[in-house]
Amino acid sequence: MGMWLFLITEVMFFGGLFLAYMLYRIWYPRAWSEASLELNVLLGGTNTIVLIGSSLTMALAVRAAQTGLRKQTVVWLLLTMALGLTFLVIKYFEYAEKFEHHHVPGFDFHFPGPDAGPAEIYFSLYFLMTGLHATHMVIGFGLLSVITWMAARGRFSPDWYTPVEMSGLYWHFVDIVWIFLFPLLYLVDRAHHFA
């Protein structure tokens, strides 16, 4: 229950950023469209699949803990961590690409056309939102490391597996944030062509 309460505060934390995104999108629709075309849908889409897959393995880890299957719990947790790491590695390559293309605000930012200013706002929000999300992933990875260690030592039983369940809730929450980030940042303005 405390975990749900914490997640409510997290909803508002990310909610403020989504609000900022919405406002600037309304004010600068053309820049939003132009800038979002620069994002890599292949990498973003792959990461969506990876992250949802990690939610599946996390759910299966909680289930294994519920039913007292120690070895399976550890295996599913390790798989979840591996998928989480995959996500972060792909994200690293995406960020590197942004540096190459001068799309990082503050680092020699360049954007052709008249929308360089608002496009820089777009990329600022892109880095803020995905960066905060990635930070949550790193924290989740740390949590899961501890949980996996505890599970391997046989600390959990069908009577007490609360930490597994709690980190599961957190992990799924981070997945949900991405479920909204991906279409909003990568996809939604792709078909809007402003001549």
What does the binding site for another protein look like in residue numbers (CB under 8 A)? 1, 4-5, 7-8, 11-12, 15-16, 18-19, 22-23, 26-31, 41, 45, 48-49, 52-53, 55-56, 58-60, 63, 66-67, 118, 158-160, 162, 165, 168-169, 172-173, 175-176, 179-180, 183-184, 186-194
The answer to whether residues 121 and 28 touch, using CB atoms and an 8 Å cutoff, is yes
Helix or strand holding residue 88 (H, E): helix 70-100
Closest separation between CB of residue 188 and another protein, Å? Answer: 5
Nearer to another protein, 55 or 73 (CB): 55
Quick one: which of 148, 151, 43, 137 has its CA closest to 97? 43
Structure tokens at 42: 């292949």
Q: Are 149 and 133 in contact (CB under 8 A)?
A: no
Q: How far is the CB of 135 from another protein (least distance, A)?
A: 20
Q: How far is the CB of 145 from another protein (least distance, A)?
A: 21
Return the sign of the alpha-carbon dihedral for residues 183, 95, 125, 144: positive
Q: How far is the CB of 16 from another protein (least distance, A)?
A: 8
SS3 157: strand
Please report how close the Cβ of residue 91 comes to another protein at its closest, in angstroms: 17
Residue type, 170: Y
- Facing residues of 157 across strands? 160
**Which of 20, 128 has the CB closer to another protein?**
20
Please check whether residue 81 is in contact with residue 148, taking contact to mean a CB–CB distance below 8 angstroms.
yes
CB closer to another protein, 100 vs 159: 159
Q: Closest CB to another protein among 4 and 92?
A: 4
Closest to another protein by CB, 94 vs 165, is: 165
Q: What are the structure tokens assigned to 82, written together?
A: 């591996």
> Cα–Cα distance between 4 and 139 in angstroms, integer?
17
Give whichever of 120 and 175 is closer to another protein, judged by the CB atom: 175
Residue 99 CB, shortest distance to another protein, in Å, is 25
